Structure 1
Amino acid sequence: MGWRGEGRGEERGSRCVFAEMSSTHLSGGKVNISRIQDHARKHLFALLDKIDGTKDIVTDGALGSVMGLVANKPMLKEHNIKTIFHLHPGQLPNSNSENIVFIIRPQLRFIDHVADNVHNEVKRSRKDFHIFFVPRVTFLCKKRLEDRGVLGNFEGNLEELPWHLFPFDNDLVSMEIPTTFKEFHLESDPTTLHQAAQGLLSLQSLYGIIPRVTGIGPAAQKVFDFLKRLSLEQSSCQNPSSSSIAPSQIDQVIILDRSVDLLTPLATQLTYEGLIDEIFGIQNNTVKLPAEHFSSSNDNTPYTADTKDIILNSGEELFAEIRDKNFSAVGPALSRKARQISNQFEERHGDKTVQEMKLFVSRLPSMMANKQSLAYHTTIAELVKKVTDTHQFLEALQTEQELMNGIDTDKAHPFIEDCIDRKEPLIKVLRLVCMQALTNSGLRSKVLEYYKREILQTYGFHHALTLCNLEQVGLLRLQQNQRPYTVLRKALKLTVEDNDEASPTDISYVHSVYAPLSIRLVQHLVRPNGSRALQDVIGLLPSPAFDELQTSPSGSALPVPPSDSPKVVLVFFVGGCTFAEISALRFLSQQEVSDTNVEFLIGTTKLINGSSFIQSLSEPLDHQ
């Protein structure tokens, strides 16, 4: 099968590369996330099996890489898939497969690429064309296919593939749609919010109706409104006699609109996984790192040109242990692991019985895997440390922490001015300027205009649209009479000093001094009568806030789980969440001394960091 491109993965006609992922780790939580994978896989294979003969798949870049979370290469080969290609305009690569299957999101630019491919392919071969829209087809897409003269090529072969959520880990699912925040808050387009509601509905079909729905923010309310409507439509199609309702495996969902907490994604993440994402970028559980830092080995980790693809999920014991730690605690953890592995190998030198030697030999593969894992993460930690030890990183971090503590937020910041003078990456500058605007509850008109003028003169006037977008969604704003951040910081203890990063007692460890507002809200909402503690501050957050109980299709109350068992709460972020926020939720789940007794699941429209969040609101120079 052709899975590995000769060059970079996004070159024209390149074959789609995605890392092999074991799925055993998905069933490790209280809620079996592997059922989501099974559900997605079943839908894919059902559609593929309707097509006779050999097949090539052509998919847009984002879906191509995320397909590895649904099905691996051997599985796809069993269903007559020969090759997977990235979707590009122009001509498809040569292939002797009998069918071309396009799997794409319903976006008009992808339709134009598909039309190009079909027009070019019919000139040189006789193949059947099929198209699967994820998660559904739209009227505009069908109209564009017709306008481009290729709708007839898909007659009887146009399908919908209802992939709403992708399983990333045993406590994490994501829609992987990067445009949700921009589409709703900038363009007033609720399309992806409807898809989010469909995702929640699919979770309810797998794990039971979620009894309690809590939410904050306009996007959260919109998602819940869609969910209620979809649930009503679904129940009207069901047989009332088959309405025996089992207790839901999820007790509550908290839907958070990203607009409720715009500051957290801008702050530099200081957990191990968060820093890997900040520095190198994590896509679909995989990080691409410079291959020269890793000695050649017998493992089958994919190489692409000069990079090595390393999979990051809880299926690897060491990564599961260190991923959520503050980076300052990672070095000591790796040292302890090295001593432990060394001691295990030293056991072979002692006097052993035959039975003991057999036991040692049986453990050897696992020990070798642990040794390789340690070598990988030691190298990754060294690569991260090279960045975090630099003067530029430390000075930027100090500036962030000063802003979050309300220091020098009311005037142009010298470090931000220096960054502009040095023409540092614009994304870095915009993150800091937006952080200052948020922590100061808006910038004075003189300061805001100064920043905008300096940015446009230094980086180019074509960035005016991006600045306008940031203003429209509230990331850049003029100073208000109210000081919401100051009140929230004090009332919810958003900045915490002297939190031991090696043995933390508060979620603020994920940013060293700052506790994510989003997770502090969750922390209160899951406590008994916790919403009362928020009454004094809820008016400072984007409205509305709601807390409702769902009922069974017949209108009766849903079964209540035993009070002594841990409550399972799904926190669903509409507009994206960071790895630091996920680490903070895991930290809360693991606290033994707690009045909550909660296990968290995390759902999101996209896994983001500050750079990708700002990038999603930026206007590209080309609009292809």
Structure 2
Amino acid sequence: MDLSTVIRFYIEKMLKDVKGMKVLLLDSETTRIVSTVYSQSEILEQEVYLVEKLDADPGEQLLHLKAVCFLRPTRENVARLRKELRSPRYGDYHLFFTNRIEDLRLQDLAEVDLRETVFQVQEFFGDFAVLDPHHFAVPILQNHVTLQPFTWDYGRSTDAVTRMTEGLASLMLSLRRRFAVRYQKGSEMCEKLAQSLHHLTTSEERELFDFGKRGGEVAPIVLLLDRKEDPVTPLLLQWTYQAMVHELIGISTNRVDLTHVPGVKKDFQEIVLSARQDDFYRKHMYANFGDIGAAVKDLVDEFQKQSTSSRNINTIEDMQNFVENFSEFSAAQRNTGKHVTLMSELSRLVDARTLMQVSSVEQEVCCSTGNLMGHYEAVRDLINSPHITDDDRMRLVMLFALRYERDGQTQLTDLLQRLQDFGLPRQQLGLVRTLLGHAGADKRMGDLFSNRSFSSRFATMAKHSLRGVENVYTQHTPLLVNTLEALIRGRLKDTDFPYIDKTQNGASPAKVPKLIVVFIVGGTTYEEARALAELNAQGERNEGWSAGIRILLGGTGVLNSKSFQQDLMAFMALN
């Protein structure tokens, strides 16, 4: 099950069904949705003459073009369409909405379509952005700015719940499956979202979601989790290709901005990282840093061979072969240059910020058995180093604070004082207390550091001591993996993760759903996406506890340590 094929199907159907030259009209969110699964060249192949935003300044009339509108059915978009239809710029309009559209809004459009330029209206359920085949996002936007999860309780939670409900409902409708909903108890946002989904699918739009059961198949599950349950994963440095690029540089809708990189060539100031369009990236996106370096070297060597052979042009036949293969040669040249540029920048940042040393201490604090004084001394010595950045100092102290929230207050006070002596502003230091106040031990249910019980402590020792550690920089396993294992093995307690439909509580743990959608309110990470990709691969091979099961991961965006701290800072500004 590849989510990108769902969105691509909708786009292809829109563009192929409307024959002739056309313009594709999008809004800010559908621009993201389309750009993550479709390249510009692929769109042009469908006789698309222009791609424009619906809210762009109106240009000249192009009545010979047909307008294919792929839009979210929002009040704002309907208002913009009304304005467009009063004075049409294009010959006819074909309206495709990403979700259900209210009858009243359709009536509003019909009232202004006096020239009868609207030829069709359809609902295509693609109200989410696909990041990877198993990974999607439902971003919470206001005025084109992503709302921060910690600020949703301040008069915006209703809008956030509505948007998340719409995104998850469209996923259900696109997969034509009716899901059971479980949510994390103690999370107000998860409970509100579960109630909203339940109301929509069982009352408001019951007939729309009545797909029936497939031959006695166990109903797939939507599991709603709160980011506050695991604040560690977004704070850790990453060492696999995709996650590392996002942590150190940033990825936005499959695009990486390198304009700030010293000496970067113009052609590589913005690059696209898409598993669909880039074979090298698809093969190595989950590989670790050392393996990526070796793979990029092999990529360069292979390109040099192609380059050398292309110079041996002695006959007409050689010329013909070169011309025929020139586009492939150019694509290989650009792709090689792209990954060399990325690896060069990653290597520069690793060296400049001594990130291997930083990561080693992070992993030790989060993953090894309790050693308060040893971890305190390691963090203290490292934050005193002049070679690491203030951001890295903050992350180290925040991770220490989460690990030793109850026993290490004296040491934490000393570490915060040292940060203040380094010149970090008091407001930034306040992030530590804010983090503990909203994602501390008393706000979480799970055993984040596997240190609450004898059995969990023994499991940690077995994992990291008895069997050894394959890579000291990637010891950490996201809490999400443990939660999913408990769900699949029938050990996830109904008291902690109840069904929103109370009649399903106590369902037989022997009946395991073949499809699970995990949705994290507050955002996912690429480390979690990689972990689930590995579980899906095991499921396809019918191995391990995830055998035969497909898991999809979604959230309100993709976090790195910088954006996670910005979320906290936004919350602090409201207090």
* TM-score, length basis structure 1: 0.63
Cα offset, 1:286, TM superposition: 0.8
Extract unaligned runs of 5+ from structure 2.
64-68, 90-95, 103-107, 114-120, 141-145
Q: Which amino acid aligns with 1:265?
A: P
Q: Does 1:616 align with 2:567?
A: yes
Residue 530 (structure 2) aligns with: 583
Residue 504 (structure 1) aligns with: none
Cα offset, 1:220, TM superposition: 3.9
Say if 1:258 and 1:573, in contact at 8 Å, map to a contact too.
Answer: yes
CA distance in 2, matches of 1:379, 1:520: 36
Cα offset, 1:268, TM superposition: 0.8
Cα offset, 1:376, TM superposition: 2.4
2:133 corresponds to which of 156, 159, 170: 170
Cα offset, 1:459, TM superposition: 3.3
Q: 1:573 to 1:37 in 2, by over 3 A?
A: farther
2:435 corresponds to which of 464, 470, 489: 470
Cα offset, 1:422, TM superposition: 5.8
Cα offset, 1:274, TM superposition: 1.1
Alignment of 1:280-359 (within 5 A): 280-290=249-259, 307-337=269-299
CA distance in 2, matches of 1:412, 1:589: 38
Q: CA offsets per residue over residues 239-293 of structure 1, 9 Å max, x none?
A: 98x9686898994443332222221111111111111111111111111225776
Alignment of 1:178-193 (within 5 A): 178-179=146-147, 181-184=149-152, 189=157, 191-193=159-161
SS in 1 for 2:452: helix
Residue 93 (structure 2) aligns with: none
CA distance in 2, matches of 1:362, 1:344: 14
Cα offset, 1:195, TM superposition: 2.5
Q: 1:190 to 1:84 in 2, by over 3 A?
A: closer
Residue 26 (structure 1) aligns with: none
CA distance in 1, matches of 2:497, 2:486: 14
Taking every aligned residue pair, what percent have the same amino acid on both sides? 18
Q: Does 1:522 align with 2:491?
A: no
Residue 342 (structure 2) aligns with: 380
Q: Which amino acid aligns with 1:606?
A: G
Say if 2:358 and 2:382, in contact at 8 Å, map to a contact too.
Answer: no
2:394 corresponds to which of 430, 433, 441: 430
Extract unaligned runs of 5+ from structure 1.
1-29, 139-151, 502-508
Q: 1:487 to 1:370 in 2, by over 3 A?
A: farther
CA distance in 2, matches of 1:343, 1:415: 47
Alignment of 1:99-498 (within 5 A): 164-177=127-140, 178-179=146-147, 181-184=149-152, 189=157, 191-217=159-185, 218=187, 219-237=189-207, 251-290=220-259, 307-337=269-299, 366=328, 369-370=331-332, 372-390=334-352, 392-404=354-366, 405=368, 406-408=370-372, 415=379, 419=383, 427-442=391-406, 444-450=408-414, 458-463=423-428, 466=431, 469-475=434-440, 485-487=450-452, 490=457, 493=460, 496=464, 498=468
Say if 1:254 and 1:570, in contact at 8 Å, map to a contact too.
Answer: yes
Q: 1:156 to 1:487 in 2, by over 3 A?
A: farther
Cα offset, 1:399, TM superposition: 2.2
Cα offset, 1:325, TM superposition: 0.9
Q: Which amino acid aligns with 2:171?
A: L
Q: 1:348 to 1:310 in 2, by over 3 A?
A: closer
Residue 66 (structure 2) aligns with: none
CA distance in 1, matches of 2:24, 2:536: 44
2:36 corresponds to which of 54, 69, 72: 69
SS in 2 for 1:496: helix
Q: CA offsets per residue over residues 581-602 of structure 1, 9 Å max, x none?
A: 1111112222344243233322
SS in 2 for 1:199: helix
Q: 1:452 to 1:341 in 2, by over 3 A?
A: closer
Cα offset, 1:321, TM superposition: 0.7
Q: 1:499 to 1:568 in 2, by over 3 A?
A: farther
Q: CA offsets per residue over residues 393-432 of structure 1, 9 Å max, x none?
A: 2232122122112444698556458648969755433322
1:601 corresponds to which of 525, 541, 552: 552
Say if 2:241 and 2:284, in contact at 8 Å, map to a contact too.
Answer: yes
CA distance in 2, matches of 1:335, 1:211: 46
CA distance in 1, matches of 2:235, 2:190: 21
Residue 531 (structure 1) aligns with: 490
Cα offset, 1:97, TM superposition: 6.7
Q: 1:373 to 1:617 in 2, by over 3 A?
A: same
Say if 1:269 and 1:278, in contact at 8 Å, map to a contact too.
Answer: yes
Q: 1:606 to 1:215 in 2, by over 3 A?
A: same
Q: 1:418 to 1:360 in 2, by over 3 A?
A: closer
Say if 1:105 and 1:134, in contact at 8 Å, map to a contact too.
Answer: yes
Residue 569 (structure 1) aligns with: 516
CA distance in 1, matches of 2:416, 2:15: 48
SS in 2 for 1:596: coil
Cα offset, 1:328, TM superposition: 1.8
Cα offset, 1:550, TM superposition: 11
Say if 1:285 and 1:312, in contact at 8 Å, map to a contact too.
Answer: yes
Q: Which amino acid aligns with 1:490?
A: R
Stretch deviating more after TM superposition (605-614 or 419-428): 419-428
Say if 1:214 and 1:253, in contact at 8 Å, map to a contact too.
Answer: yes
Residue 33 (structure 1) aligns with: 4
CA distance in 2, matches of 1:586, 1:102: 30
Q: Which amino acid aligns with 1:196?
A: M
CA distance in 2, matches of 1:262, 1:248: 35
Q: Which amino acid aligns with 1:428?
A: D
CA distance in 2, matches of 1:276, 1:606: 16
Cα offset, 1:165, TM superposition: 1.0
Q: Which amino acid aligns with 1:440?
A: Y
Q: 1:479 to 1:575 in 2, by over 3 A?
A: closer
Question: How large is the Cα RMSD of the aligned pairs?
Answer: 5.9
CA distance in 2, matches of 1:442, 1:435: 13
CA distance in 2, matches of 1:446, 1:274: 34
Stretch deviating more after TM superposition (512-521 or 444-453): 444-453
Alignment of 1:17-56 (within 5 A): 30-39=1-10
SS in 1 for 2:397: helix
Q: Which amino acid aligns with 2:392?
A: K
CA distance in 2, matches of 1:63, 1:455: 43
Say if 1:207 and 1:249, in contact at 8 Å, map to a contact too.
Answer: no
Residue 143 (structure 2) aligns with: none
How many residues of Structure 1 are paired with residues of Structure 2 in the alignment?
Answer: 519
Q: Which amino acid aligns with 1:385?
A: S
1:545 corresponds to which of 497, 505, 509: 497
